Structure 1
């Protein structure tokens, strides 16, 4: 892609080189993007938005140390022993919510939209 092609948030977010630079600022793409940002100061806000979008989608799945897990498990076990945590919480059923079809329709639409967005993002970042 030439320099002129990076004019939208999508152009930057879908650029493998840009994503690599955001996730690894010391990587091989660093020189190009540092120079590009310096020569295109008017696109600073666009770069920041694209960086934020990429960073928000990046999962940081570092394993927790065993000591931290043990501490958290002890806390939960102690809360259960002290009676501060109920194993099952009963939620009262409200009949008025069952008959509201528009709310159910919007809920289903929102779930479908969320799943579609997640699938699209998964497909994009998998490439």
Structure 2
């Protein structure tokens, strides 16, 4: 992260995604997530962030991120299951689960429009399909 401080950049608008639990990468543990977050905070200050984690770690790490004030990314590209032995039918089913978890923690999830704004995305009305 120290290398990135040398670049002139508007770090307030940076969105980091910590990818965990993939073979050969950082293990999906809360200690490692805290390390990644603290390292980024020390290097660049304020930023928006989320975590995604592979397989059985997906909901555990995303819940941890929510508790730390971060955001969560879930989907079939990271995990095929809702829980042990129960395959997810769709990305939407996984999104619904993380929304339930967030609300149980007293966290109101972003609306689709709020998420687009956070990620600096155009929105469907500005895309030609």
TM range (shorter): under 0.3
TM-score (norm. length: structure 2):
0.27
TM-score (norm 1): 0.28
User: Which is strand-richer, 1 or 2?
Assistant: 2
Q: Which has the larger radius of gyration?
A: 1
Which has more helix, going by share of residues? 1
